[in-house]
């Protein structure tokens, strides 16, 4: 078995997957013990720390060392090793930030040519999960660049959130349970990243949804969390139903759910050596688009894209570390990851849809962020908006830009959430109107949050700037030369930067600047303990330097270059092989200038509104009353759903209840009545015939014996007479018969 | 030359008279006497047939046995009659009918 022959990755990948599960089991099964109840964080911290170490090792082994070893002509080696024609195209991907590579060539370190993989299908099915002959489900792990980088991001944020929670959740009566759920979530999320099978990905996808449900409703004694967790769960069910239909369509088309097999089959289609199997008599394009849209339903719900974004702000009812880990950095980004995973499968129509959804989300969520007063909900809408950016980027062909933004966003948004948690921990309120002036009291929280804010807004030299500008460049390249509508994503991506800066500065202003608005709360405020500030510092550092900076840190490559886009197989198959061209230096510079200008506008607006108060926010509210009301009511999405989906659901439930009580119950009762009737008939037969026969015998013998008993007189002489008479009778009989 | 028919006729007459006596008489003593008549009818038949079928003593032996049996029977029967008389102050055989319906 070559699972571990290749040295580290096998063991490490397995350790990453199973350690958090072991931690979960430990906390779950020993929750009664004193150790787990009081020190429930120790085992989880150890497992997630080890997982982080393993993830870093895998990253080093599979990405940095590998690329360094194969720096000469690595595409050649990797492709040759897998028996494919060598073309060295991977080097072309590394040619610029805004690459528009769409050839059918294999990209090194991608799904088609992973750095390391193990699958049960290479072992004659010995380790197969399901093998019914017709349906085969292979277990497998594939590590490519996308996986390796995601592993590092997830384990790092998870580790920091574990560390943070030791302080934030201290004294909670379900302390160990919280860590158990964090561990279960880490396991599911890492499994989602590691697996190479769409169906298994779906299983882990459901598992993270389940953990999200548990953790949102962690404080289930309160009124909001259970409702919020139910809402999140139900909304995700909608998306997941589409996802499942998509998987079934893919299975029907290609007869497999294995991602690399789907890839190679799509490649055969793109090369023209095979045709997509027809289904329902649809054309290839329609079929692929429908399947792609169905698959996109999952990420749409999971990544909180309009119109299924409604659950994410409510999910803030959960503990803040959970908001940071699940609802900002990792789980909601799983949708983006998944779109990146099956990127080759999306047709141009699908991608345009994805871009459209992303654009709408980016804009709507940002505007709601402008007016909300709950610190966590502003951040939640900001997350929505940034996820919209990522989807937009993927939609317009900015594969590496979108995933790059996922990574930068994971760090600064986790930092912001943990910072917000630190503030909430200190002042015991989430309402920003009761905060203010905390700058002096919480210097570390303030500084780290400010850094993360600047990174989120995309101020130059902070990590967010690099990823956001790549997105804008891609959107511009995509939109140029087409109709005006196609330019909208680019325009909104640029304008959104200003909005982001405005609402984030508003958040910082309300929280940290000015005079304290609630003196009682202000007096109790204090800087958080090191277990909370250290994660903040680490994340702030990561928002400042490292991942974002265009320095070739990783085996002679910049981070976005590691994430070379896979060839757009679906587009090629449909003959839509559009070359968007590369964004040149001039465009990059122009984008930089325009972005800075927009940021400046956003900042000036913020300054005039909140600092100089000419005019203050109240005036704006008065001037745009109708719009303000609409936005503060969250665009009436909830009301709309209540009036349509919820009402429809309730009406359906009522109809079904009536059907249940009138039709189903009637049928059951009818069967009962028939049974009763038959029973009665049998009872009648029993009484008349069976009992009748028995009674007849009784009556007969009774009547006869009633007559016969008369001869039993007891009189001696009667008996004698009978005896003699009988003897005479017998004698006579003998005489006559003889 | 013997007169078998005569003996058999007398035996039969004695038997019928005995039965008649037993069935009709209420007095227990008479009933016993009827029984004696029947026994003696049987004994007479034995002797008559023995004489008729050659000079063997089988019939006479049976007759003697019957006489002995009749004596024993009379003793037991008289004991029963005494008990009946003791129980019912009468020896009317139609009185003890408790075994009846």
Both structure tokens of A459: 């101020």
Q: How far apart are CA A556 and CA A65, in angstroms?
A: 10
Distance from CA of B87 to the nearest CA of A (A): 16
Both structure tokens of A403: 């995933």
Expressed in angstroms, the distance from the first to the final Cα of chain B is: 54
Per the model's pLDDT, the better-predicted residue between A544 and A161 turns out to be A161
Residues 6 or more apart whose CB falls under 8 angstroms from that of A517 comprise A433, A434, A435, A436
Residues pairing with A117 in the sheet: A142
| H-run or E-run covering B77 | helix B58-87
The predicted structure's pLDDT at residue A639: 86
The predicted structure's pLDDT at residue A264: 87
The predicted structure's pLDDT at residue A578: 60
Average of per-residue pLDDT across A166-188 = 92
Crossing angle of the two packed helices B28-52 and B4-24, in degrees rounded to 10 = 160
The predicted structure's pLDDT at residue A82: 38
Other CB atoms within 10 Å distance of the CB of residue A480 = 13
Average pLDDT, chain B: 89
Q: What secondary structure does DSSP assign to A7-25, as a single string? A: SHHHHHHHHHHHHHHHHHH
Nearest to A714 among B22, B23, B98 (CB): B98
**Which residues does chain A have within 8 Å of residue B99's beta carbon, measured at their own beta carbons?**
712, 714
Both structure tokens of A271: 């090369």
When mean pLDDT is compared across A120-129, A156-165, A252-261, the lowest value belongs to A120-129
**Does residue A307 have a cis bond before it (omega within 30 degrees)?**
yes
Nearest to A715 among B22, B24, B100 (CB): B100
The predicted structure's pLDDT at residue A179: 94
What ipTM, to 2 d.p.? Answer: 0.86
Expressed in angstroms, the distance from the first to the final Cα of chain A is: 106
**Does residue A615 have a cis bond before it (omega within 30 degrees)?**
yes
**Which residues does chain A have within 8 Å of residue B77's beta carbon, measured at their own beta carbons?**
none
Contact at 8 Å (CB) between A19 and A47? yes
Average pLDDT, chain A: 84
Both structure tokens of A75: 């595409």
Q: Cβ contact (<8 Å) for B101 and A710? A: yes
Q: What is the pLDDT of residues A455-488, one digit of tens each?
A: 999 888 888 888 888 899 888 888 876 677 788 8
Nearest to A717 among B22, B98, B99 (CB): B22
Per the model's pLDDT, the better-predicted residue between B2 and A509 turns out to be A509
Nearest CA in chain A to B21: A717
Residue A125 has pLDDT above 70, yes or no: no
**Which residues does chain A have within 8 Å of residue B100's beta carbon, measured at their own beta carbons?**
712-715
**Which residues does chain B have within 8 Å of residue A722's beta carbon, measured at their own beta carbons?**
none
Nearest to A713 among B23, B31, B101 (CB): B101
The predicted structure's pLDDT at residue A550: 66
The predicted structure's pLDDT at residue A105: 36
Per the model's pLDDT, the better-predicted residue between A623 and A665 turns out to be A665
Return the domain boundaries, chain B. 26-94
**Which residues does chain A have within 8 Å of residue B98's beta carbon, measured at their own beta carbons?**
714
Average of per-residue pLDDT across A203-208 = 94
Average of per-residue pLDDT across A99-104 = 35
The predicted structure's pLDDT at residue A556: 65
Nearest CA in chain B to A707: B101
**Which residues does chain B have within 8 Å of residue A724's beta carbon, measured at their own beta carbons?**
19, 23
Both structure tokens of A725: 């008479």
Q: How far apart are CA A361 and CA A457, in angstroms?
A: 16
The predicted structure's pLDDT at residue A1: 39
Q: How far apart are CA A50 and CA A198, in angstroms?
A: 27
Q: Cβ contact (<8 Å) for A713 and B24? A: no
Q: Does A731 touch chain B (CB under 8 A)?
A: no
Q: Which residues of B touch A (CB under 8 A)?
A: 19, 22-24, 31, 93-94, 96-101
Crossing angle of the two packed helices A399-427 and A375-395, in degrees rounded to 10 = 180
The predicted structure's pLDDT at residue A677: 96
Both structure tokens of A692: 């009748």
Counting one residue from A and one from B, how many pairs have CB atoms under 8 Å apart? Answer: 34
Q: Residue A64's Cα: distance from chain center in Å? A: 29
**Which residues does chain B have within 8 Å of residue A721's beta carbon, measured at their own beta carbons?**
23
Q: What is the CATH T-level fold of the domain B26-94, as seen in this structure?
A: Helix Hairpins (1.10.287)
Q: Residue A636's Cα: distance from chain center in Å? A: 25
Distance from CA of B84 to the nearest CA of A (A): 13
The predicted structure's pLDDT at residue A332: 92
The predicted structure's pLDDT at residue B57: 85
Residues 6 or more apart whose CB falls under 8 angstroms from that of A489 comprise A355, A356, A358, A359, A392, A395, A396, A475, A478, A479
Q: Cβ contact (<8 Å) for A716 and B101? A: no
Average of per-residue pLDDT across A9-23 = 88
Q: How far apart are CA B29 and CA B36, in angstroms?
A: 11
Nearest to B94 among A709, A715, A721 (CB): A715
Q: Cβ contact (<8 Å) for B99 and A714? A: yes
Q: Cβ contact (<8 Å) for B93 and A716? A: yes
Q: What is the pLDDT of residues A306-365, one digit of tens each?
A: 889 999 999 999 999 999 999 888 999 999 999 999 998 898 889 999 999 999 999 999
User: What proportion of chain A, given as a percentage, has pLDDT over 70?
Assistant: 89
**Which residues does chain A have within 8 Å of residue B24's beta carbon, measured at their own beta carbons?**
717
Q: Cβ contact (<8 Å) for A714 and B96? A: yes
Residue A138 has pLDDT above 90, yes or no: no
Q: How far apart are CA A658 and CA A228, in angstroms?
A: 29
**Which residues does chain A have within 8 Å of residue B84's beta carbon, measured at their own beta carbons?**
none
Q: How far apart are CA A3 and CA A9, in angstroms?
A: 9
Q: Cβ contact (<8 Å) for B31 and A716? A: yes
The predicted structure's pLDDT at residue A591: 85
Q: What is the pLDDT of residues A601-658, one digit of tens each?
A: 888 888 888 877 777 788 878 888 788 888 888 888 888 888 888 889 899 999 999 9
When mean pLDDT is compared across A7-11, A602-606, A619-623, B68-72, the lowest value belongs to A7-11
Q: Cβ contact (<8 Å) for B100 and A717? A: no
Residue A510 has pLDDT above 60, yes or no: yes
Distance from CA of B23 to the nearest CA of A (A): 5
What's the pTM value of the predicted model, to 2 decimals? 0.75
Nearest to B23 among A713, A714, A720 (CB): A720
Of A707, A714, A725, A731, which to mutate for an interface test with B (greatest number of B Cβ within 10 Å)? Answer: A714
Please report which confidence band the pLDDT of residue A124 belongs to, taking 50, 70 and 90 as the band edges.
Answer: low
Q: Does A712 touch chain B (CB under 8 A)?
A: yes
Q: Cβ contact (<8 Å) for B96 and A716? A: yes
The predicted structure's pLDDT at residue A580: 60
The predicted structure's pLDDT at residue A68: 64
The predicted structure's pLDDT at residue A158: 95
Contact at 8 Å (CB) between A321 and A215? no
The predicted structure's pLDDT at residue A67: 65
Nearest CA in chain B to A705: B101
Both structure tokens of A291: 């399947």
Distance from CA of B16 to the nearest CA of A (A): 10
Q: What is the pLDDT of residues B15-59, one digit of tens each?
A: 999 999 999 998 999 999 999 999 999 999 999 998 888 877 888
The predicted structure's pLDDT at residue A546: 62
């Amino acid at each position: 078995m070559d699972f571990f022959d290749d040295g580290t990755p096998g063991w490490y990948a397995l350790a990453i997957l199973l350690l958090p599960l072991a931690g979960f089991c430990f906390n779950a099964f020993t929750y009664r013990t004193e150790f787990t109840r009081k020190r429930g964080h120790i085992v989880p911290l150890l497992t997630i720390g080890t997982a982080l170490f393993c993830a870093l090792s895998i990253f080093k082994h599979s990405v940095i060392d590998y690329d360094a070893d194969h720096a000469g002509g690595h595409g050649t080696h990797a492709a040759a090793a897998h028996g494919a024609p060598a073309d060295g195209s991977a080097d072309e991907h590394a040619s610029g930030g805004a690459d528009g590579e769409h050839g059918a060539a294999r990209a090194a370190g991608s799904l088609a040519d992973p750095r390391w993989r193990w699958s049960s299908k290479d072992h004659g099915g010995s380790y197969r999960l399901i093998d019914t002959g017709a349906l085969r489900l292979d277990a497998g792990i594939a590590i490519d660049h996308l996986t390796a980088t995601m592993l590092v991001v997830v384990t790092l944020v998870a580790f920091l959130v574990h560390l943070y929670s030791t302080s934030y959740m201290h004294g909670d009566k379900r302390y160990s349970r919280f860590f158990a759920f964090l561990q279960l979530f880490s396991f599911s999320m890492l499994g989602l990243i590691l697996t190479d099978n769409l169906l298994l990905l779906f299983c882990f996808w459901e598992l993270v949804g389940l953990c999200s449900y548990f953790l949102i409703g962690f404080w289930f004694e309160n009124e909001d969390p259970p409702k919020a967790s139910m809402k999140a769960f139900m909304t995700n069910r909608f998306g997941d139903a589409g996802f499942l239909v998509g998987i079934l369509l893919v299975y029907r088309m290609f007869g497999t759910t294995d991602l690399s097999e789907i890839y190679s089959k799509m490649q055969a289609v793109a090369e023209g050596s095979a045709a997509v199997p027809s289904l329902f008599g649809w054309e290839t394009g329609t079929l692929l688009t429908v399947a792609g849209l169905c698959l996109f339903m999952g990420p749409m719900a999971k990544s909180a894209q309009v119109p299924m974004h409604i659950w994410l702000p409510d999910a803030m009812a959960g503990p803040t570390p959970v908001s940071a880990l699940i609802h900002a950095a990792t789980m909601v980004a799983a949708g983006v990851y998944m779109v990146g995973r099956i990127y080759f499968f999306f047709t141009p129509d699908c991608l345009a849809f994805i871009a459209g959804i992303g654009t709408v989300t980016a804009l709507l969520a940002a505007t709601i962020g402008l007016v909300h007063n709950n610190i966590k909900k502003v951040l939640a809408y900001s997350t929505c908006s940034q996820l919209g950016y990522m989807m937009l980027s993927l939609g317009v062909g900015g594969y590496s830009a979108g995933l790059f933004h996922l990574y930068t966003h994971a760090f600064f948004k986790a930092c912001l959430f943990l910072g917000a948690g630190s503030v909430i921990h200190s002042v015991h309120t989430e309402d920003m109107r009761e905060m203010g002036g905390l700058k002096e009291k919480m210097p570390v929280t303030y500084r780290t949050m400010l850094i993360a804010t600047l990174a989120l807004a995309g101020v130059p030299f902070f990590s967010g700037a690099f990823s956001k500008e790549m997105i804008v460049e891609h959107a511009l390249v995509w939109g140029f030369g087409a109709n005006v509508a196609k330019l909208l994503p680019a325009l909104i991506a640029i304008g959104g930067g200003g909005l982001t800066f405005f609402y984030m500065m508003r958040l910082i202003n309300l929280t940290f600047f000015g005079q304290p608005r609630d003196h009682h709360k202000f007096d109790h405020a204090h800087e958080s303990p090191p277990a909370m500030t250290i994660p903040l510092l680490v994340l702030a550092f990561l928002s400042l330097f490292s991942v974002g900076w265009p320095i070739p840190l990783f085996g002679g490559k910049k981070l976005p270059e590691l994430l070379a886009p896979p060839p757009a197989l679906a587009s090629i198959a449909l003959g839509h092989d559009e070359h968007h061209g590369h964004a040149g230096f001039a465009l990059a510079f122009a984008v930089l200038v325009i972005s800075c200008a927009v940021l400046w506008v956003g900042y000036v607006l913020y300054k005039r509104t909140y600092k100089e108060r000419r005019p203050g926010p109240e005036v704006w509210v008065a001037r745009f009353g109708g719009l303000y009301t609409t936005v503060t009511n969250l665009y009436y999405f909830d009301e709309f759903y209540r009036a349509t989906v919820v009402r429809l659901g309730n009406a359906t439930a009522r109809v079904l209840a009536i059907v249940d009580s009138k039709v189903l119950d009637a049928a059951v009762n009818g069967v009962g009545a028939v049974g009763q009737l038959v029973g009665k008939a049998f009872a009648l037969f029993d009484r008349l015939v069976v009992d009748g026969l028995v009674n007849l015998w009784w009556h007969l013998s009774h009547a006869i014996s009633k007559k016969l008993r008369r001869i039993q007189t007891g009189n001696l002489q009667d008996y004698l007479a009978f005896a003699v008479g009988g003897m005479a009778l017998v004698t006579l009989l003998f005489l006559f018969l003889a | 030359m013997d007169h078998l028919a005569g003996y058999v006729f007398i035996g039969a007459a004695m038997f019928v008279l005995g039965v008649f006596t037993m069935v009709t008489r209420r007095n227990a003593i008479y009933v016993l006497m009827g029984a004696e008549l029947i026994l003696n009818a049987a004994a007479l038949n034995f002797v008559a047939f023995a004489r008729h079928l050659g000079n063997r003593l089988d019939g006479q032996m049976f007759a003697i046995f019957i006489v002995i049996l009749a004596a024993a029977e009379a003793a037991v029967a008289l004991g029963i009659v005494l008990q009946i008389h003791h129980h019912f102050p009468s020896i009317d055989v139609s009185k003890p009918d408790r075994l009846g319906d």
